[in-house]
Structure 1
Amino acid sequence: MEDADVIVVGAGPAGLAATVHLQAAGLRVLLLEGSDEVGGRVRTDVVDGFLLDRGFQVLLPAYPELRRLLDPQSLDLRFFSRGVVAQGSDDRWDLDFSARDRETLLSLARFAAKRPLDALAVGALTLRDTTVAPNRIRAAVPTETGRELARWRISRPTIEEVFRPFLAGVFLDPELTTNSKLLHLLWRCFVRGGAAVPADGMRMLPRALAGLVTDDALRLSTTVASVDRGAVRTADSAVPLQARAVVVATDGAAASTLVPGMRAPEWSGVTTWYFAVDEPPLRRPTLLLDGASGSLMNTAVMSEVAPTYAPGGRALVEASVPGDTGAVSAIRSRLGELYRTSTSGWELVAEYRIPHALPRMKSNHVFTSPAKVGTQLYVCGDHRDTSSIQGALVSGRRVAAAVARDLAR
C-alpha cells in the first residue's frame, strides 16, 4: 500500500503550492523537506533582534498566483516607495513617485526636463505593460532585456544609471541578457502593486503557504537520497516511501541530481551585506541605486521599510551586488558616498554570499517546461517557469494539475 497518493520533495514556494493544490484535489500528499523550516531559498534569519532575509528579497503583491493562494495583506506587508533614487555619473535622480515633498517633485520635474524622451518612453512602456493581458506579453517574440529597453527608445544614460542597477538587483543579471518577457511581466506587477516585505520577514510567505497544508502532510529535516518511479528513498531509512506519483520541487541544482537526464540550470548569484546603524542614513523606504561606480549596488534602509526589521533605537541597512564579489571595506566606503555620510561606525551584522540565488533566464528561455518528466515522476520550481516567486507558484499549480489529471485516469 502506498504511503501517500503523491510525495512532494521540497517545501519551497513551488512545493508548498503544489501540495496545497493537490490536497484541494482530494489527494493524500506527503511533503518532505530536508531543512528545519519551509521556504527553500526564501528564508529569514534573526540576529541580535535584526531580521535578515537571506539575500535581498522583496515580494510583489500584484503577483496573480500569490493572490490565487493568499490575501497578500494577511502577510502584514510593509511597502517600499513607488520609485528609486539613482546615483548617476554626473547627477542624482530622485525618482520617487510616492513622495510629495518639494525637493523630490523638483527632481522628477528636472529629470523630465533634461530627458523628456526618456520620460515619454518609460511612460509608454508602463502604459502598455499595465493595460495589455499577460498572455499577450508571454506571446511576444523575446529578446534580451537591454535590447528591449533600447527598442523602447530609452536612452543609454538612463539605462546605465537607472535600469541597469535596478534590474541587476531584480534579475541578478548585470549584462541585461534576461528574457525581455520577464522584464514586462515583472514591470507590470511592480507598477500595479509596488514592492513590499512582510513585517516579520520574507519567511512569512512560505509559512503562510505551509499554513494551508494539513499538519500531517509535512515532514521537516527529512533528506531525500533518491527518487524513482513512485518511490522516494530518504537518507535515514532503507525502506523507500511509496506513492502513485512523485513531484521533485527542489531547486534546479538539486533536481538535476535526483531526476535522471535533467540538466542543472545556470545560476545567477548575489552578495548581500547587512549593517546595524544608530541613525538611518535615509529616512524613507526608498531603494537607492548605484549607477555610477560599476558595482551596480542597490541598497535600502530596511528598518524604514519595516521598522520590525531592527530592534528599538537601531536601524538596518541592506546592500546587495550581483555575483560573488566585493570586499566589505569597499562596500562600506561606497555606501558612505551614496548616503553622503560617514559609515565608520556601521556594524556589519551579516554577509550572505549566495551563488545559487536565481536560475538564469536568457532570451531563449522556455517559460513553461513540461511538468511530467517520466513515469510517475514530475518536476516543478522557478527553473521550470520564470525565475521569480510568481514563477515558482505557477509551476507548483501546473504540476498539481498534471498529477491530478494523470491519477484520475
Structure 2
Amino acid sequence: MKKEGYKIHIIGAGVSGLIAAQVLENYGYSPVIIEATDRAGGRVKTDMVEGYQLDYGFQVLLTAYPAAQKYLDFEKLSLQKFLSGASIFINGKEKTLGDPMRNPSLLIPTLLSNIGKFSDKIKVLRLNMMLKKKSITDIFKDDEISTLTYLQNYGFSEEMINNFFRPFFSGIFLEPNLETSSRMFQFVYKMFGEGFAALPKDGIEGIITQLVSKLEKTKFLYNTSVKQVVDGSVFLDNGEELKSNFTIVAAQAHQLITNLNNQETEWRSCDTLYFEVNDRVIKKPLIGLIVDNDALINNIFYHTSLKTSANARKELLSVTVVKNHQLNGKELKQKVMEDLDQFCGISGCKFMKHYHIKNALPKLENLQYEISATETKLTNTIFLAGDQLLNGSLNAAMISGERAALGIIKTLEDGLIVEEFTSEFN
C-alpha cells in the first residue's frame, strides 16, 4: 500500500496531535485529526473579547524549550518577551526583583527591593550557573523531592522562598505549596535562564495557528466527538465507525480505551480572570506576584504591557488563582477584585471573562523528559500522546506527539502492520 493509503487517525487537535500530524506528513503520510471542539488548540487558545486577546489561562512560551525551537518559527510568531524578573507585592508595597545581567534597568530596583538576604542572591547566582552546566538528561535522573524541600536543602532563606520562589513557581506549577517535583523546578528554572518567557503577538494561540498552517496533507474533522477507540476502528458519538490502520490518542485516553478505565490522569486546576483597567500599576512587562498569605490571588499580568495584534483601548489585566476555594463565579470575582484593591492598589476594574481551567496541568510523579517511540505504543495499532506521559509542559506535549508518530512509522517500517487490516482497507 502507498503511504497515502494508510488510514491514520489522531484524536485531539492540541499541541501533541498537531506535532504528530506534522511528523507523519514529513514521512509522506496523510493523517486525519478528529477534534471535539470547533478549532484546534486544546488548552492553548486565545479568545477575542471586546477587542482584547484573552488567552485560555495565563500561559507563556519558554523560548529555550528544545522542542519549541525545533517545531516553531519564533520570528514569524513575532514573540514579545517578558523582562526577566517580577514585581512583588508585599506589605502593601511593590518591589522589583530581576536579572540586571539581562536588563540593566532592573539593577537599582533589585538592589533596593530587600527581597531575600544577600546570601540568597549569591545562591541564586550559584543556582543559575549550576543549572546552566547541568544537562536536561541529568536533571531528570535526579532523585525526586518536592520543590520546597529542594529550595530548603539548597539553603535559601524562608523569606526568599515565601516572597519569591513560592508565588512565582506556584503560578507555573498551579499549586501553592511547591509540592511539584524538583526535576520540574530545575528544568523550568534552566529554561528561564537559557531563554526568555514570551508571548506571540497574536496571543498564545498563535502557536497553534502556525502549527496548523504547516499541515498540507492533514484532514481535520471538527465538532466530532469520539466514543471509543479499538484496534482497527474509531467509533464516533454519532454511531459512525471509522476504519483505522493506526490511531494516536492525544486526548483523555481513559475515556476512549476500555482497558485504561482505571488509569485516569489527575489534573491541577486554576482560575484566570480578565479585567479592563485604566492604568498599569506595573509599568514594565513583568509578572506581578502577591505574597500575602491572606490573598487568594497568586499572580497578575498586564497583557497590554506587551505588543499585541489587537488594538486595546485601555489596559488588559489577567489574575491567576491557584489556591483551592469553594467560591462560585460571582463570589470569586468579588474576592479577586477585593484582593486587587487591598494587596496591589488596583481598583476600578471592569470584569471581562472568567476561565475555570479544570484540566490545566497533569499531576504527575516520576517526571520524565524523554519517551521512546515504542513506549507510546499501547497496542500494535494504538499509540498515546500528551504531556501527561512525561511532564506538564508545551515541550513535553511536542515530544510525545513526535514520538507517537515515529512509533507508527517504525511499526510500518518493521513490517508489523496486520495484513488483514491492509486488505480490508484497500
Fold match by TM threshold 0.5: yes
Worse-matched range after superposition: 112-121 or 70-79? 112-121
* Residue 88 (structure 1) shift: 3.4
Percent pairwise identity: 26
In the aligned structure 2, how far is the partner of 1:258 from the partner of 1:46?
32
Alpha-carbon RMSD: 2.2
2:397 maps to 1:392: yes
Which of 124, 127, 141 is the equivalent residue of 2:126? 124
In the alignment, which residue of structure 2 is the partner of 1:275?
275
| Residues 212-221 or 375-384, more deviating | 212-221
Please, which of 370, 373, 378 is the counterpart of residue 373 of structure 1?
378
Q: Structure 1: which 4+ aligned runs deviate by more than 6 Å? A: none
Contact between 1:273 and 1:351, CA under 8 Å: does it hold in 2? yes
- Conserved? CA contact 1:86–1:92, under 8 Å: yes
Q: CA deviation at 1:114?
A: 6.0
For residues 115 and 61 of structure 2, what CA distance do their matches in structure 1 show? 33
Is the 8 Å Cα contact of residues 89 and 161 (structure 1) preserved in structure 2? no
> How far did 1:365 drift?
3.9
Deviation at 1:28, TM superposition (A): 2.8
CA pair 88-279 structure 1, distance change in 2 beyond 3 A: closer
Q: Distance in 1 between matches of 2:337 and 2:214?
A: 42
In the alignment, which residue of structure 1 is the partner of 2:255? Answer: 257
Unaligned runs of 5+ in 2: 415-426
> Aligned to 2:351, which of 343, 348, 351?
348
Which residue of 1 is the match for residue 420 of structure 2?
none
CA 1:216–1:111: 2 relative to 1, 3 Å: closer
Equivalent position SS for 1:378: strand
Q: Structure 1, residues 168-210: CA drift from partner, whole Å, max 9, x if none? A: 1101021211111111111111121111111111111111111
Q: Is the 8 A contact 2:32 2:221 kept in 1?
A: yes
1:27–1:140 CA distance, 2 compared to 1 (3 A):
same
Mean alpha-carbon deviation: is it higher for 174-183 or for 275-284? 275-284
- 1:304 shift after superposition: 0.6
Distance (Å, rounded) in 2 between the aligned partners of 1:186 and 1:56: 16
Per-residue CA deviations over 1:358-390 (Å, capped at 9, x if unaligned) read 11134x345556301123111000101110101
Cα gap change, 1:349 to 1:113, in 2 (>3 Å) = closer
User: Which amino acid is the alignment partner of residue 137 of structure 2?
Assistant: N
**Structure 1 residue 281, shift from structure 2 partner:** 2.6
Whether the aligned pair in 1 keeps the contact of 2:289 and 2:300 (CA below 8 Å) is yes
Q: Which residue of the partner structure matches residue 360 of structure 1?
A: 363
CA distance in 2, matches of 1:281, 1:111: 17
Matching residue of 2:143: 141
How many Å apart are 1:271 and its aligned residue?
A: 0.5
Pair 1:231-2:233 in alignment = yes
Question: One-letter code of the match for 1:66?
Answer: A
- Kindly indicate whether the alpha-carbon contact (under 8 Å) linking 2:370 and 2:399 is maintained by their aligned counterparts in 1: no
* Partner Cα distance (1:3, 1:183) in 2: 44
Distance in 2 (alpha carbons) for counterparts of 1:25 and 1:355: 36
CA contact (8 A) 2:81 2:306 kept: yes
What CA deviation, in whole Å up to 9, does each residue of 1:206-230 have, x standing for no partner?
Answer: 1111112125422222211211102
Taking the TM superposition and a 5 Å limit, the aligned residue runs for 1:179-258 are: 179-238=181-240, 240-250=241-251, 254-258=252-256
Taking the aligned partners of 1:216 and 1:378, their CA distance within structure 2 comes to 18
